[in-house]
Amino acid sequence: MIRAVIVMNTQGKPRLLKFYEFQPPEKQHELTRSVFAVLSGRPDNVSNFVEADAIFGPGTRLVYKHLATLYFVFVFDSCENELAMLDLIQVLVETLDRCFKNVCELDIVFNFNKMHTILDEIIFGGQVLETSSERVLKAVEEISRLEKSSSSVSFVPKSVSGRFGR
Amino acid sequence: MEQLKTIGRELAMGSQGGGWTGQSKEFLDLVKSIGEARSKAEEDRIILREIDSLRRRIAEPDVPRRRMKEYIIRLVYAEMLGHDASFGYIHAVKMTHDDSLSLKRTGYLAVTLFLSDDHDLIILIVNTIQKDLRSDNYLIVCTALTAACKLINEETIPAVLPQVVDLLAHPKEAVRKKAVMALHRFYQRSPASVSHLISYFRKRLCDNDPGVMGATLFPLFDLITADVNSYKDLVISFVSILKQVAERRLPKAYDYHQMPAPFIQIKLLKILALLGSGDKQASGHIYNVLGDIFRKCESSSNIGNAVLYECICCVSSIYPNAKVLDAAAESTSKFLKSDSHNLKYMGIDALGRLIKINPDIAEEHQLAVIDCLEDPDDTLKRKTFELLYKMTKSTNVEVIVDRMIDYMISINDNHYKTEIASRCVELAEQFAPSNQWFIQTMNKVFEHAGDLLNVRVAHNLMRLIAEGFGEDDEGADSQLRSSAVNSYLRILGEPKLPSLFLQVICWVLGEYGTADGKYSASYIIGKLCDVTEAHLCNDTVKAYSISAIMKICAFEITAGRNVEMLPECQSLIDELSASHSTDLQQRAYELQALLCLDSQAVESVMPLDASCEDIEFDGNLSFLNSFVQQSIEKGARPYIPESERSGTFSVSNYNSQYQHEASSHTLRFEAYELPKPSPTPATPQISVSTRTTDLVPVPETTYYYTENNQASKLPPVSDASSADHGIKLHLDGVQKKWGRPTYSSSSSSTSSEKKTNGVTRIDGVSSQSRGTLYDSKGQQSEVSAEKQKLAASLFGASAGKTEKKLASTQRAPKATTAIAERPGVTRAVSPEISKQKAASSPPPDLLDLGEPITTTTPTIDPFEQLEGLIGPTPGPSTLDNSVTTSEQKAPDLMTLYTDTPPSSSSSISSALGDIHSADKNSQMAKNVPSVKKGPNPQDSLQKDATARHVGVTPTGNNPNLFRDLLG
């Protein structure tokens, strides 16, 4: 199963932490730091895989993708396939990109609760739930729509608001 | 700075065009100031200030709900940055009760991130989750399911289980899917709580929505992992599902990058790998669909390769079939030849799986593997070392362990250092070709990773040195010891040594330092004193050192020689007798006392080389009986056993088997066990019940369950037989190692192998190869030659395929000289044995039971001919019908590779003759498919050829063996 999803920037600041087995905040922080230490030491043009048993316990591996100023990291155990996880990162990023229209770090900082919503549609309890970014997006939009109608507080994705703004 | 600019720009954009309408200015400011923080301390200050203000404001009465939502989000943010926000948990819990979907979702998000599943507040949420699971709004249901996944623990599962089960029939497939996955999660938490629902998973496999079917695969995978046999009936269904998916029968919406539902395919392949493992019948159903996928699957996309890789895993796990194995090997070679590091990594991993079935597959890729070994990518390197570890055998152990040690020295990561060090130790113990090599290797490992190693490794080494290698050859043993002593004395010159290594050194010097008479006692004692001074060592090392000195002194006194006390030794004794450690004090005083005894007394106190003798304890102290008798006669009071004294309570007179009963009378602080499906028998019978679980194939889960319970119930010492059983069970599959049983696992070796391992023949081959490998240094043009040599020495024994690049043969004279030059190590080991071997010259690897295939392909080099007949990539199955070479060849070559004492020189020349003739037939320039790198292939080939003639590689296959086996 997938143990954790970590998004952090290239300075090691966490942007999104989701652990599918509970970890207390200090521990989360420590884990993030060790992951960052490993990733920042890796040169470009090498594989996207790292064996992480020193950090997360025996048999765990992580797959990461370095995009612009962000690292997307998935931590998982031997029941998953590295290449497939790499594609799952792709799904997440594609969805974010569609949702925020040219996603950048700031979108993620300010809308990390939205990002959690998206992630919950892709990964459920540590298992892959959905891999079509289109359907993820549809689900997320439906949630936003209902949230909007049920309450005055709303999250309008940049894409939508941008369209109305012009 | 770069980042700050972006932030500034983005903020400007945000204020213009919409952007983050949900958040207030304050939150934006917070994020911005954190982004601008120059140090961790500054960031912490900002967050702490934020938390303080939140703590105040959140507690104010009548915070508007919308405000509250933002506070909660800010708390989540603060906690993400590693700060405690526990004061806000209760507010998050309250927010889950809210009617508004938006607030409810925020509340759930916060609690799933904040709370562990055993937090006290969970109980307040269970009710809400229950209610939300029944909601009409399916989005609320989904949210509640997500939260249930994270928050519901073993105790609260029953509270929500009925609702979740009801949702399995929900009209919305998204809900059904999540309900299945939530049940899976419950199963992971506590298998017992949903054990009655397993049939639901089977049923949902037939759900008409493919997504729900896909979700069902997760719990089924877990269930099958736990108990394969109950699900064999599903093989056909899984195969047919996989077939349909692969044939694109699913709706287009399930395609991902032109691949039909790849994640479902991967999961199905994983399940089939489990079901087909070691089951010929089940595997029979699987071959076809695997072949289809291999044919159809695109290897251009990442996800296509993921599926292919999963197929390879499946092939390597199920009952072998030549056809799919070939397809798997082909895909593997595509991975390895790819430029992408990711694919190379997968290729190395796949190779590691496939060589378990057919070791020959590795040969084709030796150069690729060596490239990976030298790759800058650490992940790839480690994976490659793992592969090498898997394919280590007595012929290539030296090269591999040398490489591993070099790498071990180069890295700083202690975790991996420890792992690789213990692997080196394991391989060395298992395959060591000679005692000297073993000692040297262990020295290197201890020197560089000594502090990371388990103490047991050191004890093991000492015991190996003390007991020898199991052969009844005193000469070899004492040779081993003196070589150990020599090397340790040399190493003691090094500035800094790990304490564990110093302990070993002290012990060995004490036992055997003076055994061969080469070194005087005072020299050794001087060295031992240096140990305590030169190295900043701890008390343990000091204790080892002083005990070693005591032993040396004792041996001297026994031998009737005078012990002159060196001044530094005297000062050491003085220092230790004033030590804070009572242990050290005692040892120092003991040494002083020993020095005053006469030789007979000393001999009985400290017999020579008695470390392997069993010491008998006389627990009753019967030798004191007469003394006691005398004292009583003189009027001393007799001893009253503790139990008979009045007023004292003792359990010591209980029989041991009642001891745990006694302990169960005392207070218990751990929780009571949960009620179990099968009632636990009364304590005395427990060992019996363990025995039955041992015999009867009980599902694994229940087995562990009972085991745990026992562990918690019994004091560990009370029931020896059950403990025995525990150990025996856990060691399942761990074979006996070379030397003696060790703590490590995996890998095969039999006791019969022991004899072949230490013997020189094979060893000669690879140590030579090492020599030549290191000889050729410098020049760039030799890079590829070096690689090939390395390849040859790694893959040598079972190789033969790539070794065909034998070049022309003018180098024969050089070959003989090289043989003469060969490091004396191997020759010195046991010439007798090697002579014997040379005389009888059996096929080399027949005793190597660990590698059945290897036995079929030792020595000889018919590859040129092979290649001419078959073409670039001959599979192992095609070998048999083509090759014809002289039968004599194998044994002849074997003698060439043995240690070549003078007696076998005639056979060498004949063997060389054979090679000559073989090579003349070959047109070497033509058939060199694998020389791709290095600027000058010609040159490298010649290098290679010399290496080969010198005997780097036991070349080639034995065609006759092959025919017997495969024909």
Of B31-40, B212-221, B555-564, B590-599, highest mean pLDDT: B212-221
Q: What is each CA distance from B917 to B424, B902, B914, B922, B944, in whole angstroms? A: 40, 24, 5, 9, 18
- List CB contacts (< 8 A) between B35 and chain A: 109
Q: B740: distance to nearest CA of chain A, Å?
A: 27
Contact status, residue B916 vs residue B809, Cβ threshold 8 Å:
yes
DSSP H helical ranges for B37-64: 40-58
- Lowest-confidence range among B150-154, B459-463, B591-595, B842-846? B842-846
What's the pLDDT tens digit per position in B793-802?
776 644 444 4
Q: For B30-45, what is the mean pLDDT?
A: 84
Give the E-state strand segments of B407-528 in sequence order: none
Domain parsing of chain A, residue ranges: 2-152
Contact status, residue B266 vs residue B239, Cβ threshold 8 Å:
no
Contact status, residue B265 vs residue B245, Cβ threshold 8 Å:
yes
- List CB contacts (< 8 A) between B379 and chain A: 46-47, 49-51
pLDDT at B213 over 80: yes
Looking at residue B814, what is its pLDDT?
Answer: 42
Backbone torsions φ then ψ of A109, nearest 5 degrees? -60, -50
Higher-confidence residue of B563 and B765: namely: B563
Contact status, residue A77 vs residue A58, Cβ threshold 8 Å:
no
Backbone torsions φ then ψ of B777, nearest 5 degrees? -125, 175
Looking at residue B304, what is its pLDDT?
Answer: 92
What ipTM was assigned to the predicted interfaces of this complex? 0.89
Lookup: tokens for B430: 């298992």
SS3 B434: coil
- For residue B26, what is the nearest residue in chain A, using CA coordinates? A110
DSSP H helical ranges for A57-104: 82-100
Given pLDDT bands bounded at 50, 70 and 90, which one contains residue B177? very high
pLDDT at A44 over 50: yes
B-interface mutation test, from A120, A133, A149, most B Cβ less than 10 A away? A120
How many helices (DSSP H) and strands (DSSP E) are in chain A? 7, 7
Q: For B129-138, what is the mean pLDDT?
A: 92
Backbone torsions φ then ψ of B646, nearest 5 degrees? -75, 145
Total Cβ atoms within 10 A of residue B2: 8
Q: What is each CA distance from B450 to B104, B404, B417, B652, B959, in whole angstroms? A: 56, 15, 10, 42, 46
Give the helix/strand (H/E) hosting A123: strand A123-124
Given pLDDT bands bounded at 50, 70 and 90, which one contains residue B941? low
| Cβ–Cβ gap A51/B257 under 8 Å | no
Query: A–B: how many Cβ contacts below 8 A?
Result: 208
Total Cβ atoms within 10 A of residue B331: 23
Dihedral, CA atoms, B25, B28, B30, B32, nearest 10 degrees? -130
* CA-based max dimension of chain B: 108
- List CB contacts (< 8 A) between B218 and chain A: 127
Contact status, residue B54 vs residue B75, Cβ threshold 8 Å:
yes
What's the pLDDT tens digit per position in B636-688?
888 887 777 765 444 444 444 444 444 445 555 566 666 665 544 444 444 44
Closest by Cα among B160, B79, B83 to B117: B160
**Percentage of residues in chain B having pLDDT higher than 90:** 18
Q: For B884-898, what is the mean pLDDT?
A: 42
B contact residues 181-220, partner A, Cβ 8 Å cutoff: 181-182, 184-185, 188, 211, 215, 218
The amino acid that residue B944 corresponds to is D
Place of tokens 């309890």: A125
Given pLDDT bands bounded at 50, 70 and 90, which one contains residue B206? confident
Q: What is each CA distance from B151 to B157, B189, B853, in whole angstroms? A: 10, 11, 52
What's the pLDDT tens digit per position in A62-109?
999 998 889 999 999 988 999 999 999 999 999 999 888 888 888 888
pLDDT at B912 over 80: no
Between CA B139 and CA A138 the distance in angstroms is: 13
Looking at residue B900, what is its pLDDT?
Answer: 41
| Cβ–Cβ gap A154/B7 under 8 Å | no
What's the pLDDT tens digit per position in A52-64?
888 998 889 999 9
Looking at residue B908, what is its pLDDT?
Answer: 45
pTM of the model: 0.66
Of A151-160, B458-467, B845-854, highest mean pLDDT: B458-467
Note whether A162 contacts B: Cβ–Cβ < 8 A: yes
Between CA B664 and CA B658 the distance in angstroms is: 10
Looking at residue B117, what is its pLDDT?
Answer: 85
A contact residues 8-27, partner B, Cβ 8 Å cutoff: 9, 11, 13-14, 16-18, 20, 22, 24-26
Between CA A48 and CA A38 the distance in angstroms is: 12
| Cβ–Cβ gap A132/B257 under 8 Å | no
Between CA B772 and CA B818 the distance in angstroms is: 9
Looking at residue B725, what is its pLDDT?
Answer: 44
- CATH code reported for the domain at A2-152: 3.30.450.60
What's the pLDDT tens digit per position in B573-610?
888 888 888 888 888 888 888 888 877 777 777 776 66
Contact status, residue A99 vs residue A162, Cβ threshold 8 Å:
no
Higher-confidence residue of B433 and B935: namely: B433
pLDDT at B554 over 50: yes
Looking at residue A108, what is its pLDDT?
Answer: 85
Q: For B314-339, what is the mean pLDDT?
A: 91
Given pLDDT bands bounded at 50, 70 and 90, which one contains residue B611? low
What's the pLDDT tens digit per position in B496-552?
788 888 888 888 888 888 877 788 888 888 888 888 777 666 888 888 888 888 888
Q: A147: distance to nearest CA of chain B, Å?
A: 5
Q: A80: distance to nearest CA of chain B, Å?
A: 9
First vs last Cα of chain A: how many Å apart?
44
Higher-confidence residue of B559 and A48: namely: A48
| Cβ–Cβ gap A87/B306 under 8 Å | yes
pLDDT at B556 over 90: no
Q: B267: distance to nearest CA of chain A, Å?
A: 9
Between CA B764 and CA B837 the distance in angstroms is: 13
What's the pLDDT tens digit per position in B828-879?
444 444 444 444 444 444 344 444 443 334 444 444 444 444 444 444 443 4
pLDDT at A12 over 50: yes
pLDDT at B439 over 80: yes
Looking at residue B939, what is its pLDDT?
Answer: 58
pLDDT at B315 over 90: yes
